Amino acid sequence: MPKTGNRFQTFADFYPFYLAEHNNLICRRLHFVGSTIALICLFKLVTTGQPIWFLYGLLVGYAFAWVGHFFFEKNRPATFKYPLYSFMGDWVMYKDIWTRKIPF
């Protein structure tokens, strides 16, 4: 896993670390549920034009993920240290769950 100091050089380097931080099945399921609800909120934002749906999507998405980390995975979310790569990892993992590359 090539790193520069405390940072990963590429998302491809980061993603295996991200997956290792999501070994717990309940944590992954909570991420999946939160991401799904966040997508519903995004749809509501687009269809209603009400910006509050963006806030709801962020709150719900992160709330589900953080409950998974703090109570089931027992680690700190990668968001705190790697916000962009973590956000990207959320959606790649979401896709990988849908395509059954990762157990759900």
Segment holding 20, helix H or strand E? helix 11-20
Where in the sequence is the domain holding 36, given as residue range(s)? 26-98
Q: Which residue has the tokens 């973590």?
A: 86
| Domains in the chain, number | 1
Asked if the structure places residue 5 within a domain, the reply is no
**pLDDT (tens digit per residue) in 55-94:** 999 999 999 999 999 999 999 999 999 999 999 999 999 9
* Whole-structure pTM value: 0.89
Question: Does residue 10 lie within any of the structural domains?
Answer: no
For residue 76, tell me if it sits in a domain. Answer: yes
Q: Model confidence over 42-58: pLDDT tens digits?
A: 999 999 999 999 999 99
Residue 13 lies in a domain: no
- Segment 18-33 shows an average pLDDT of 97
pLDDT at 2: 52
Query: Residue 6's pLDDT band (boundaries 50, 70, 90)?
Result: low
Q: How confident is the model at residue 21 (pLDDT cuts 50, 70, 90)?
A: very high
In a domain, 16, yes or no: no
Q: Contact, 73 vs 39, CB < 8 A?
A: no
Whether residue 48 lies inside any domain: the answer is yes
